[in-house]
């Protein structure tokens, strides 16, 4: 019979060890499913991803299905992958739920990121509000492509004091797990605060100071060498959705306040790194909008644009969740997003990284960092193949 423990009492290191021993890693997920980022699997390609791994009884495939694809798995197969009685322990702490016919299902997902693991709310099965005996209904954002893009650009120098604003699962702050002299995080969502603390435990970090509140409010006058932020930034009609989602019509509502706070909370020579979207209205430019954000900042700033699209592009991508209700529901959802953006006069949406350094020189630079795909054929083209074949005697 499983014992019930509160999550703070449960030491999760054994789980991280089991996941590692079972070969559950970011690279294994990428290889098995042929993807780059976890959110490359969505409503439209979840079923084929499950099919790819169907019938594979290896520990790695079992753990990938259970924690990443969120399918039900045989308890005995999961025990084989994670160690005897693992399922009973995980059911006891509220991380697995027993289903019918000897099967179990994950109540939170676990994302493998570099050498770390992150608990977060599920992508495909909906939020299980009492998972891990947590409370709160607002879902915790699973590390996604935006999380990784930000993580990838953060330089790892020295032993800085680090603040992760809008920390969610803690995926940004915990990049500095072994080197920060001080590690702090803030999130508005108490469920995210609880999960970020558990993720610190899962990754063997005992000094992650996570506070619940609105941006800098819980920090008084504290300053940091590094400030990281992946705020909610979607130009979305769903203002009352999850706290991780909407950033006002122009997407920069939270980012603007984050940048304003740099003057007070970034230490001299300190650096800040953020990722966001911004919705541009007719006549607006990235340089003009960014110049307003950084007008009072005593330092230099760099904006690296990553991608730009029309309001229809954003609508097409964001409305995908409605596909579960059918093609008409999707079409209605696309229309809803486009109408919302048109009403707010948003013509285009730019994804970008914002880097700032507090050094007294006020300047701003905007550069294009969108990935380039070089048209360099590695094999002869199809038409070349046909032409060659026809010439052959
Ligand atoms: C897009 S998620 C990012 C989570 C994580 N940092 C990552 O990179 O995956 C945004 C997070 O901001 C939090 N948030 C939204 N508004 C906030 C505010 N005013 N103050 C602090 N956190 C906020 C949400 O609860 C959510 O966890």
Of the pLDDT bands very low, low, confident and very high (cuts 50, 70, 90), residue 260 is: very high
Q: For ligand 1, is residue 251 a contact (CB within 6 Å)?
A: no
* DSSP-derived secondary structure for 99-132: -STTEEEESSEEEEETTEEEEE--SSS---TTGG
111 lines ligand 1 (CB under 6 A): no
Q: What atom of ligand 1 comes closest to residue 138's alpha carbon?
A: 25
Range 235-249 average pLDDT? 93
Pairing of strands 103-106, 96-98: antiparallel
Q: Are strands 103-106 and 73-74 parallel, antiparallel or unpaired?
A: antiparallel
Identify the residue whose tokens are 């289903």: 99
Counting DSSP H helices and E strands in the chain, the numbers are 13, 13
Smallest CA separation from ligand 1 atom 2, residue: 244
For residue 104, what are the CA distances in angstroms to 65, 71, 78, 144, 352?
11, 9, 8, 25, 40
Query: Over the chain, what is the mean pLDDT?
Result: 93
Phi first, then psi, for residue 281 (nearest 5°) are -90, 165
* Cβ–Cβ < 8 Å for 34, 45: no
Tell me the average pLDDT across 324-333.
92
Rounded to the nearest angstrom, the distance between the alpha carbon of 253 and the centre of ligand 1 is 13
> Dihedrals φ, ψ of 74, to 5°?
-65, 130
Q: At 9, is the pLDDT very low, low, confident or very high (cuts 50, 70, 90)?
A: very low
Q: Determine the atom of ligand 1 nearest the C-alpha atom of 189.
A: 25
- Radius of gyration of the chain measured on its C-alpha atoms: 23
Q: How do residues 296-327 score in pLDDT, each as one tens digit?
A: 999 999 999 999 999 999 999 999 888 888 99
DSSP secondary structure code for residue 65 in this structure? I
206-215 confidence digits (pLDDT tens): 999 999 999 9
> 259: Cβ below 6 Å to ligand 1?
no
Dig out the tokens for 364 from the structure: 């701003």
Residue-level pLDDT at 235: 95
- d(CA 105, CA 182) in angstroms, rounded, equals 36
Tell me the pLDDT tens digit for each residue of 83-115.
999 999 999 999 999 998 899 999 999 999 999
Which of 243, 253, 254, 260 should be mutated for ligand 1, with most atoms under 8 A from CB?
243
Where do we find the tokens 């026809």?
A: 390
Report residue 115: phi and psi, to 5°.
-100, 20
Cβ proximity of 254 and 235 under 8 Å = no
- Centre of ligand 1 to C-alpha 237, Å, is 18
CB atoms within 10 A of CB 298: 14
Q: Match 């979840």 to its residue by tokens.
A: 46
Is pLDDT at 2 greater than 50 in this prediction? no
pLDDT of residue 16: 96
Is residue 337 within 8 A of residue 318, CB to CB? The reply is yes
Would the CB of 217 count as within 6 Å of ligand 1?
A: no
Please work out whether the CB of residue 189 comes within 6 Å of at least one atom of ligand 1: yes
Q: What is the mean pLDDT of residues 285-294?
A: 97
Residue 122 · residue 109 · CB < 8 Å: yes
Kindly give the distance from the C-alpha atom of residue 47 to the centroid of ligand 1, in angstroms, as a whole number: 29
Expressed in angstroms and rounded, the spacing between residue 166 Cα and the centre of ligand 1 is: 3
Q: Is the CB of 168 under 6 A from ligand 1?
A: yes
Measured CA to CA, the distance from residue 143 to residue 140 in angstroms comes to: 9
> How do 224-229 and 182-187 pair as beta strands?
unpaired
Percentage of residues in the chain having pLDDT higher than 70: 96
Helical H runs in the chain? Answer: 13-21, 26-33, 46-53, 59-63, 75-82, 86-92, 145-153, 190-202, 253-265, 286-293, 311-318, 327-343, 382-391
With 60 as the cut, is the pLDDT of residue 4 above it? no
What is the C-alpha separation between 5 and 23, in angstroms, rounded? 27
Atom of ligand 1 minimally distant from the CA of 217:
20
Residues 6+ apart with CB under 8 A from 109: 67, 68, 70, 119, 120, 121, 122, 123, 142
* Bigger pLDDT: 128 vs 387: 128
Q: Which CATH class is domain 145-368?
A: alpha beta
Q: Which is nearest to 201 in space by CA: 23, 14, 332, 371?
A: 14
Distance 243 CA to ligand 1 centre (A): 7
Phi-psi region of 85 (alpha: psi -120 to 50; beta: other; left: phi over 0): left
193 lines ligand 1 (CB under 6 A): no
Task: For ligand 1, pick from 119, 139, 187, 242 the residue to mutate: most ligand atoms within 8 Å of CB.
Answer: 187
Answer yes or no: is the C-beta of 227 below 6 A from any ligand 1 atom.
no
Judge if the beta carbon of residue 147 lies within 6 A of ligand 1: yes
**pLDDT above 80 (res 8):** no
pLDDT digits (tens, 9 = 90+) for 139-175: 999 999 999 999 999 988 899 999 999 999 999 999 9
Q: Is the CB of 215 under 6 A from ligand 1?
A: yes
Q: What are the residue boundaries of the structural domains of the chain, listed by start?
A: 13-133, 145-368
pLDDT, tens only, 23-55: 999 999 999 999 999 999 998 899 999 999 999
Whether the CB of 356 sits within 6 Å of ligand 1: no
């Amino acid at each position: 019979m499983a014992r019930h423990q509160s999550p703070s009492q449960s030491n999760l290191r054994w789980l991280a060890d089991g996941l590692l021993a079972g070969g559950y890693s970011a690279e294994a997920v990428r290889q098995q499913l042929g993807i780059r980022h976890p959110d490359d699997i969505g409503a439209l390609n979840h079923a084929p991803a499950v099919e790819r791994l169907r019938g594979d009884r290896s520990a790695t495939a079992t753990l990938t299905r259970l924690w990443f694809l969120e399918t039900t798995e045989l308890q005995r197969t999961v025990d084989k992958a994670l160690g005897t009685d693992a399922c009973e322990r995980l059911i006891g702490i509220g991380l697995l739920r027993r289903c019918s016919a000897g099967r179990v299902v994950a109540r939170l997902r676990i994302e493998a990121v570099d050498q770390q693991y992150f608990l977060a709310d599920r992508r495909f099965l909906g939020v299980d509000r009492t998972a891990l005996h947590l409370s709160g209904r607002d879902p915790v954002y699973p590390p996604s492509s935006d999380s990784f893009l930000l993580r990838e650009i953060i330089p790892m120098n020295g032993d800085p004091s680090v603040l992760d604003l809008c920390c969610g699962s803690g995926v940004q702050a915990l990049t500095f797990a072994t080197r920060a002299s001080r590690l702090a995080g803030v999130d508005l969502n108490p469920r995210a605060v609880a999960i970020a603390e558990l993720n610190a435990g899962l990754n063997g970090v005992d000094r992650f100071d996570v506070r619940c509140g609105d941006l800098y409010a819980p920090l008084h006058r504290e300053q940091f060498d590094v400030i990281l932020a992946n705020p909610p930034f979607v130009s979305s009609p769903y203002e009352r959705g999850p706290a991780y989602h909407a950033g006002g019509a122009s997407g920069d509502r939270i980012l603007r306040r984050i940048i304003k706070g740099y003057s007070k909370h970034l230490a001299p020579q300190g650096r800040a790194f953020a990722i966001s979207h911004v919705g541009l209205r007719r006549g607006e430019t990235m340089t003009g909008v960014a110049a307003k954000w950084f007008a009072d900042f005593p330092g230099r700033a760099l904006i690296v644009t990553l991608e730009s699209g029309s309001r229809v592009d954003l609508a097409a991508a964001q409305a995908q969740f409605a596909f579960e209700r059918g093609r008409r529901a999707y079409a209605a959802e696309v229309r809803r997003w486009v109408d919302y953006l048109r009403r707010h006069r948003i013509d285009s949406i730019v994804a970008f990284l914002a880097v700032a350094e507090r050094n007294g020189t006020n300047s701003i630079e905007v550069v294009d960092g969108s990935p380039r795909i070089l048209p360099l054929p590695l094999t002869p083209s199809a038409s070349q193949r046909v032409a060659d074949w026809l010439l052959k005697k």
